[in-house]
Amino acid sequence: MEVHSLVYPHQLTKDEQPNTVAAFGFFDGVHQGHRTVIKKAITIAAESNKKSAVITFDPHPSVVLQNTKETIRYITPIEEKIKQIELLGVDRLYIIRFDKNLAKLSPKEFLTHFADELHITHIVAGFDFTFGHKGAGNMENIHDLVHLNTEVTTIGRLDFQGEKISSTRIRADLKRGKMEEVERLLGRPYTLGGEVIHGDKRGRTIGYPTANIKIEDDYVLPRIGVYAVEIKIDNEIYSGMANIGYNPTFLDDRETIKIEVHIFDFDENIYGENVVVYWKKYIRDEEKFSDVTELIDKLKDDEVQVRQFFSIN
């Protein structure tokens, strides 16, 4: 997959670009609804002997439009989004830098610059996709704005259990620890990637050594608590249990969230390794215990629950 990072105004010329069918959207999560849009573009491209593409944006428009100082967290930060889109078999990915200049473009100007001038002759997008200044362009008026020879396909709302599949819904489920529902909405387990770093090494003294994961990208974090997880190390998948939280029994540092994974039946030095954690099932809230013995007893109960989960899943 070719990846092109663009800033308005870009310097690409239409004659240099292949005839392309493109899926447009922000696509945070690349969830089942997004995948339907992207796969439709891929299918149309294959049937019409054109290239397939995805047009997406970075950062989230709210970073620019709301001038927020808060860190915007993503279901799929940009590198993860690239990986998930590539897995779908897209030929080209255009990542448009969302800035104040882009936000000022009229819908017509946006389509001229990022559809016609990129030789996109067929646009595929979800029914709720908007574009141009203040989102004035949409999938109802797009036919009046596109180039005469540009085709448009609109993908309707996709529901799961009577509710729209959306990034907003997935974010809410992550905050509730509803990982199995998140997995169904995404079409894959929720993942966080990061480096294994040195921690306080207290876990090994109580029989539960952990890999401490440093999350550098701006992921949406799951609910604080204990989880059944899988972890990928050097392309091998291991099961285990993770705690995401503040380690209240020992530190209770409410400024820093820690992610620690106890990997079952594993005894290797992986400091400095980049790993991927797959969040499978929420087990319980993080608790503060009165002493280490009480903590160990609870960890043993957690291990039984998590091993049982993996034995039947």
Q: Which residues contact 204 (CB under 8 A, 6 or more apart)?
A: none
Measured CA to CA, the distance from residue 273 to residue 95 in angstroms comes to 28
**CATH 2.40.30.30 in the chain, residue ranges:** 189-312
The whole-number pLDDT of residue 126 equals 98
* CA nearest to 155, candidates 19, 24, 21, 53: 24
Instruction: Output DSSP code: residue 69.
Output: -
Asked if residue 301 has pLDDT above 70, the reply is yes
What pLDDT, in 10s, does the model give residues 237-268? 999 999 999 877 666 566 678 999 999 999 99
Residue 277 and residue 231 in contact, taking contact as beta carbons nearer than 8 Å: yes
The whole-number pLDDT of residue 276 equals 97
Asked if residue 63 has pLDDT above 90, the reply is no
The whole-number pLDDT of residue 117 equals 95
CATH architecture classification, 2-156: 3-Layer(aba) Sandwich (3.40)
Measured CA to CA, the distance from residue 134 to residue 96 in angstroms comes to 17
pTM: 0.93
Measured CA to CA, the distance from residue 183 to residue 32 in angstroms comes to 10
What pLDDT, in 10s, does the model give residues 126-180? 999 999 999 999 999 999 999 888 999 999 999 999 999 999 999 999 999 999 9
Measured CA to CA, the distance from residue 86 to residue 178 in angstroms comes to 27
Percent helix / strand / coil, the chain, rounded to 5: 30, 30, 40
**CATH 3.40.50.620 in the chain, residue ranges:** 2-156
* Mean pLDDT along residues 52-78: 88
Q: What is the topology classification, in CATH, of domain 189-312? A: Elongation Factor Tu (Ef-tu); domain 3 (2.40.30)
Instruction: Output DSSP code: residue 303.
Output: H
- Angle between helix 32-47 and helix 179-186 axes, rounded to 10 deg: 10
Q: How far is CA 119 from CA 20, 90, 112, in A?
A: 6, 16, 10
What pLDDT, in 10s, does the model give residues 183-198? 999 999 999 999 999 8
What pLDDT, in 10s, does the model give residues 3-14? 999 999 999 999
